Amino acid sequence: MEKRDYFDEVYEVVRLVPKGRVTTYGTIARYLSLRAGARMVGWAMNGSHSQTDVPAHRVVNSVGVLTGKHFFGGPTIMQQLLEDEGIQVNNDRVVNFKTLFWDPALELGL
């Protein structure tokens, strides 16, 4: 398998997400200029289980919904991880998502 190419880049960006902040698949896709699109970012996260330092729980969709929670081995794992970082989650949706949103191209001073 060894898809590594853009997978690794996605992991790297996700790792840069500060604790208590979140970002979206589409944002990562655009930041890395992935033609593949946001869907592939999610697919890339599918391999994040091999990476221990990849906070995939900080990656949500465009409206702040924890779409990938089921892939954490449980429907509440992702939410608990976020709440543990001080992020409030209500009905699978990140509270103040717009405020907690972290844009790499913006925060990294690009």
Contacts to DNA by CB under 7 A = 1, 3, 24-27, 35-43, 45-46, 48-49, 56, 59, 61-63, 67-68, 71-72, 91, 93
What 3-state DSSP class applies to 24? Answer: strand
* 61/80 with CB nearer DNA: 61
- Residue 15's closest CA among 102, 86, 74, 77? 102
Task: Pick the closer one to DNA by CB: 91 or 109.
Answer: 91
For residue 108, the minimal CB distance to DNA (Å) is 19
Closest approach of DNA to the CB of residue 66, in Å: 8
